[in-house]
Amino acid sequence: MTDPRDADGSSSELDLSLLDGFSFACRPDCGLCCFSSPRLEGTDEERLRLMVPSLRVIAREGERCIASRPDGGACELLDHLRCRAHNARPAPCREFPLSIHIGTRIQATVVLSCPGLSVSPLLERKGGRSAPSRFDGLETELASARDRLVPVAARLRVEATRRQRKIARELAAQGRWVDDEEVRRKLSHRPLSPGADEYFPDELPSAVEGLEPLPMYFDGRDGPVALAQGGGGWEALELMAEGGSKPLGEAVPPEQPPDLTEDGRALLEGYLRYWLARDCFLAAVHLDMERVPEGTVVETALEELHAIGSDVLARGAVRAQLRGDAGARLDREGVERGIRATDQDWLDRPTWGRRL
Ligand code: SF4
Ligand code: SF4
């Protein structure tokens, strides 16, 4: 990608430092990311119609999207875990598991719900922005994202920077503003995992309200597993590509944070540090602060990291119960299962910036 300079002289270059250490290989037995209605843009629809003339397109929040099958089913183009139009698939499919946030800089991060990515770099990352980043298997995803960024990067970044400055001015007037690098510096030596008083996992929607908003994860089954609020706890449902679901069992999220093995705790801390490094996280925190009348950016960021950690622990513990490991301490694999069932949910939050 070219490196257009913005009006303030800074760069619209894509920051790749959060890809450092990751490698990606799509799993042929997965299909998790195809339980969606991918957005169409540019020439996507035209190219797809050449391959699939019967393509059904729906309008959603002002955008055109490929229709998915009813009742939580997969994208209409998914056929036995294969995309019927792989070579013409739209941008969100070409670029997953990359997620690009356009804020005061343009930053790439990986969606850790995808089981084609290893989580071990979370333990090894030392933070910072230094280039060059080492990553493997994300080159075609990045090439697609760069192509789309070239014509819009500088403009979107200027717009986002303007929105960020407005929020910063409002919060500074209330004495609550702390800039991003200072937030990261102040939290760099604090434990980020929730303690007993900071453990508040989110309640889940009920499946009766629809299967689409439920957190999903890949569990080696034909379809992804979704977690929903059940009668006495959470229920696990296997989603069917054609729509509908099959109940797998129920489990009760723990009332206290589960005990962690040493490597489980290290992975959770590494994961929350990854969140702190994501620009989309602090951009979402700022938006939340506009609705909350008190607290500084540092305090709010820490509370929200505790909330993310709470979801990882609750979902990891429920997945352990569903596997018959009730009562066990959460080890590294247990925490990883919680991360897989959590990451996409929090990445979907609104920010003052834009997602590509
Ligand atoms: S979630 Fe990841 S591994 Fe699964 S199909 Fe999508 S890209 Fe491949
Ligand atoms: S277009 Fe293809 S890759 Fe994209 S969600 Fe549909 S089936 Fe999956």
Spatial CA neighbour of 336 closest among 322, 318, 316, 319:
316
Q: Can you give the pLDDT at residue 291?
A: 83
Q: How far is the CA of 169 from the centre of ligand 1 (A)?
A: 41
**Tens-digit pLDDT profile for residues 225-260:** 999 999 889 999 999 999 999 999 999 999 999 999
State the ligand closest to the CA atom of 56.
2
User: Does ligand 1 lie within 6 Å of residue 78's CB atom?
Assistant: no
Q: How far is the CA of 37 from the centre of ligand 2 (A)?
A: 8
Residue 10's pLDDT band (cuts 50, 70, 90): very low
User: Does ligand 1 lie within 6 Å of residue 116's CB atom?
Assistant: yes
Report the nearest-CA residue for atom 1 of ligand 1: 114
Q: How far is the CA of 159 from the centre of ligand 1 (A)?
A: 32
Cα–Cα distance list, 269 to 30, 33, 137, 189, 331 (Å)? 27, 26, 26, 11, 13
Q: How far is the CA of 34 from the centre of ligand 2 (A)?
A: 5
Do you find a cis peptide bond into 151, omega within 30 degrees of 0?
A: no
Rounded Cα–Cα distance for residues 92 and 275 (Å): 21
Cα–Cα distance list, 118 to 24, 32, 333 (Å)? 7, 16, 11
Q: How far is the CA of 170 from the centre of ligand 1 (A)?
A: 41
Average pLDDT, the chain: 92
Q: How far is the CA of 285 from the centre of ligand 2 (A)?
A: 31
* SS3 (DSSP) at 107: strand
Report the nearest-CA residue for atom 7 of ligand 1: 26
Rounded Cα–Cα distance for residues 285 and 216 (Å): 24
Tokens of 267: 């992975």
Pocket of ligand 2 (CB under 6 A): 34, 36, 38, 66, 75, 77-78, 83, 85, 89, 93
Q: Can you give the pLDDT at residue 126?
A: 56
State the ligand closest to the CA atom of 114.
1
Helix and strand tally (H, E) in the chain?
11, 13
Report the nearest-CA residue for atom 5 of ligand 1: 31
Q: Can you give the pLDDT at residue 132?
A: 57
- Taking the CA of residue 89 as reference, the ligand 2 atom at the shortest distance is 1
Q: Can you give the pLDDT at residue 2?
A: 39
Q: How far is the CA of 94 from the centre of ligand 2 (A)?
A: 9
Rounded Cα–Cα distance for residues 146 and 235 (Å): 40
Q: What is the DSSP letter of 136?
A: B
| Residues 6 or more apart whose Cβ sits within 8 Å of residue 203 | 229
Tokens of 313: 């622990």
Q: 278-316 burial string, b = 16+ CB within 10 Å, else e?
A: bbbbbbbbbebbeeeeeebbbbbbbbbbbbbbbbbbbbb
**Tens-digit pLDDT profile for residues 117-151:** 999 999 976 554 445 568 899 999 999 999 999 99
